[in-house]
Chain A
Amino acid sequence: EVQLVESGGGLVQPGRSLRLSCAASGFTFDDYAMHWVRQAPGKGLEWVSGINWNSANIGYADSVKGRFTISRDNDKNFLYLQMNSLRAEDTALYYCAKDGTSPNNYYYMDVWGKGTTVTVSS
């Protein structure tokens, strides 16, 4: 069974950092690009970042560019999101998602984790 399990969320003060992790299983991890997508309470979906299979192709939403860093460890089957200089507007449920089709680029998401909640507040 394909499974994605996020961890690392929590309550953090504005300006501080947090690192999210996503453990992948049930598929060949380095055959696919991966994504982070977030959803603020009661709001819609926002793509945050994507990474291709070998980390050579990485993209970010303008709202997080320069503050967040995506990475992956293909040996351990893990995806990460390092979040620095956190703001109140980063408060959301953060989903890890598998790309539906491509190792080389990030397109759409066919498998989603249950998410980890990040709350930025003093």
Chain B
Amino acid sequence: DIQMTQSPSSLSASVGDRVTITCRASQGIRNYLAWYQQTPGKVPKLLIYAASTLQSGVPSRFSGSGSGTDFTLTISSLQPEDVATYFCQNYNSGLSFGGGTKVEIK
């Protein structure tokens, strides 16, 4: 089974900061990676699929990159509504989620 490891597990940043979250797969998954945002008390929301394709309606300050084993989710300018937990998900071989990264405002 492919393990997905996210880092950091939590971070605190100021409004307007650039934020980067990393996801590492235990073996290569090509670009078969999705990112989700879960705001407190809400349902997960798809942000990015195929590692870098923005889901319709998602603000352009979100971007994804990577291939193989190393991936990143970047928020170019953190906004108050971005406070959430972010999960990566492998769908190349089986399906598995990372442990999540909690993003807070400093």
Looking at A21-29, A41-49, A66-74, the stretch in contact with chain B turns out to be A41-49
Question: Residue on A with the closest CB to B87?
Answer: A45
Q: How far is the CA of A114 from the CA of B38 in the complex (A)?
A: 12
Contact (Cβ within 8 A) A100 B97: no
A110 at interface, CB cutoff 8 A: yes
Name the distance in Å between B61's Cβ and chain A's nearest Cβ. 20
Q: How far is the CA of A45 from the CA of B98 in the complex (A)?
A: 8
List residues of chain A with CB within 8 A of the CB of B34.
Answer: 100, 107-109
A57 at interface, CB cutoff 8 A: no
Could you tell me which residues of chain A, from 74 to 95, have a CB within 8 Å of some CB in chain B? Answer: 95
Q: How far is the CA of A100 from the CA of B91 in the complex (A)?
A: 12
A1 at interface, CB cutoff 8 A: no
Contact (Cβ within 8 A) B97 A110: no
Q: How far is the CA of A101 from the CA of B90 in the complex (A)?
A: 15
Name the distance in Å between A92's Cβ and chain B's nearest Cβ. 13
Mark B27-65 against chain A: 1 for CB-CB distance below 8 A, else 0: 000001010101000011110010000010000000000
Contact (Cβ within 8 A) A113 B100: no
Contact (Cβ within 8 A) B43 A106: no
Which of A44, A50, A112, A113 interacts with B95 by CB under 8 Å? Answer: A50
Give chain B's interface residues, CB within 8 Å of chain A.
Answer: 1, 32, 34, 36, 38, 43-46, 49, 55, 85, 87, 89, 91, 94-100
Give chain A's interface residues, CB within 8 Å of chain B.
Answer: 35, 37, 44-47, 50, 59, 62, 95, 100-101, 106-110, 112-115
The 10 closest A-B pairs by CB, nearest first: A108-B34, A47-B95, A107-B91, A45-B97, A112-B43, A44-B100, A110-B46, A108-B49, A44-B99, A108-B91
